[in-house]
Chain A
Amino acid sequence: MITLRKAKERHHDRRSKQETWFTFGAEAQNASEAHAFGALEVFKEDRLPPRVSCPRQPHLDAEIVTYVREGTLAYEDATGRSGLIEASEFQRMTVGRGIRYSETNASPTGWAHVFQIWLRPSDEGLTPGHEQKRFSIAARSGVLCLVASPDARKGSLCIHQDAFLYSSIVAEGQHIIHDLSNERHAWIHVVDGQASLGAAVLGAGDGAGFF
């Protein structure tokens, strides 16, 4: 079974010039928007103007993967850790038993284009922490590049859940197949471009779930 969620069906939140689109998420306004894809509880896209911060979203027990597609994101948490997430970098943050953090577009002039994926972790009360890694455009072109996994296989980030995150950039006409065993499900999100999925055509912001 395949379910589609078109870009226009996402909850759109605009604060000043900042724009956020929730495929799923805590800020969704109605039942259909609020419905997560199982442990995939938040899937959001942010476009941040220069020097603007993401709204803080207090939450416990979440594995948050942040992907900076364009621009640079500065982060800081209550433990004193701070740094930058550059374009093509992915960061995994374990919120666990709780951590305060903030994220800001570090550029004084350019916009940041950021995606965040929040997963419910396999255990509650994990020790907060994070790691980040660059997966270059070249490394993600023409292949399904493994970005995060439960055991950090193939140099991926380690997430505390039975979930695998892939990123891919494919050329026109290229065909991608990801095999799913009977014990697995998947959510695919089109970040940019246009692709056919059976009889459906998906554009930027569209998503599909495979049960």
Chain B
Amino acid sequence: MDKPRSVPRSWAPEMVRGFSRERAVSLTALAKTEILLVDLGASLVEPPDKQAG
């Protein structure tokens, strides 16, 4: 789950098998880049549409 998939830059994220574009964090570095990523359980985050309601 925590292993990134390194693919050629020309591949569009949706072409990576086994992943849905809607449900994956997909990022391409345009320069050397450092990131932090927090993965949270669904019960811990309320989507904006529900917050508005």
Contact = CB atoms under 8 A, between A and B. Distances in A.
B40 to A, nearest CB: 5
Nearest to B39: A164
Nearest to B51: A35
Contacts of A163: 38-41, 44
B36 A169 contact: no
Given A164-B2, A185-B42, A178 B37 contact: yes
A115 B10 CA distance: 33
B31 A177 contact: no
Contacts of B41: 162-163, 183-185
Interface stretch (A10-18, A48-56, A92-100, A194-202): A194-202
Chain A interface size band reads 35 or more
A180 B1 CA distance: 9
Contacts of B29: 170-176, 193-195
Interface residues of B, number: 41
A173 B40 CA distance: 27
Contact of B38 (A165, A172, A197): A165
Contacts of B25: 176-178, 180, 186, 188, 210
B4 A142 contact: yes
A94 B36 CA distance: 20
A90 to B, nearest CB: 10
A11 B6 CA distance: 34
A38 interface: yes
A168 B44 contact: no
B37 A38 contact: no
Interface string B22-34: 0111111111111
A190 B35 contact: yes
5 contacts: A143-B3, A143-B4, A187-B38, A188-B38, A194-B29
Given A176-B35, A201-B30, 14 more contacts: A144-B3, A167-B37, A168-B34, A173-B28, A174-B29, A175-B5, A177-B16, A178-B25, A179-B24, A181-B23, A188-B36, A191-B34, A193-B34, A195-B28
